[in-house]
Amino acid sequence: MNRFNRLVCVLAALLLAAAAHAQGGAPAKAPPQGFTTTAKPTENDPVSAQREHELALQLRCLVCQNQSIAESNADLAVDLRRQVREQIAAGRSDSQIIDFMTQRYGDFVLYSPPLKGTTLLLWFGPFALLLVGALVAWRVVAARKAVVAPAPLSDEERARAAAMLAGERNT
């Protein structure tokens, strides 16, 4: 049971590490409190303003790299928000607007990186590591079991044990 518990512990630690990694790279869905108001919707149409805000949250500000353009007040973020707003007004779809941004600034501008050849490691690396860790843990536990398994007694040992038991009875 002890061995099994240890294995569970190792697996749990690996899972936690993978989860932490995934969280680090995950898109910031909701802006931290206090930042939500920085992107002032300047349109009267609430639907467009909402779309603008949602798109802006997905786009990274390249000047202050840890903020989306919705949260940042850098000049470039203001300009990019204006681009988003104008393109919404021009009737372009969300994916067209995202394409416009990635054509100019690359995938880096996206908080959620697309799944493709160069990002495979980013997406599946943590799971691969988890698998490797589980494999190592399993091997270690299996090896330990082999070491601990009692070796059968040889004939000589059996005879000695019998003699000892017999002697015990005599005293």
Partner 1 sequence: MSAVAAEAAKSSTMKRVALFLLPLAAFIGLSVFLFKGLWLNPREVPSPLIGKPAPVFERPLLHRGDVQFSSKDLLGQVWIFNVWASWCGPCRQEHPLFNDLAAQKLVPIVGMNYKDQPGNALKWLNELGDPYKLTVVDADGRLGIDFGVYGVPETFVIDKQGVIRHKHIGPVTPEAMQKKIIPLVRELQKQP
Q: Rule CB under 8 A: which residues touch partner 1?
A: 62-63, 65, 75-76, 79-80, 83, 102-108
Nearer to partner 1 among residue 54 and residue 99 (C-beta) = 99
Query: What is the per-residue burial (b if ≥16 Cβ within 10 Å, else e) of 63-91?
Result: eeeebbbbbbeeeebeebbebbbebbeee
Distance CA 49, CA 45 (A): 6
Work out how close the CB of 54 gets to partner 1 at its nearest, in angstroms, rounded to a whole number.
20
Work out how close the CB of 140 gets to partner 1 at its nearest, in angstroms, rounded to a whole number.
10
Nearer to partner 1 among residue 105 and residue 111 (C-beta) = 105
The owner of tokens 């190792």 is 10
Residue 110: strand pairing partners:
59
Nearer to partner 1 among residue 23 and residue 66 (C-beta) = 66
Work out how close the CB of 111 gets to partner 1 at its nearest, in angstroms, rounded to a whole number.
14
CB atoms within 10 A of CB 53: 18
CA-based R_g, the chain, Å: 31
Nearer to partner 1 among residue 82 and residue 160 (C-beta) = 82
Work out how close the CB of 40 gets to partner 1 at its nearest, in angstroms, rounded to a whole number.
19
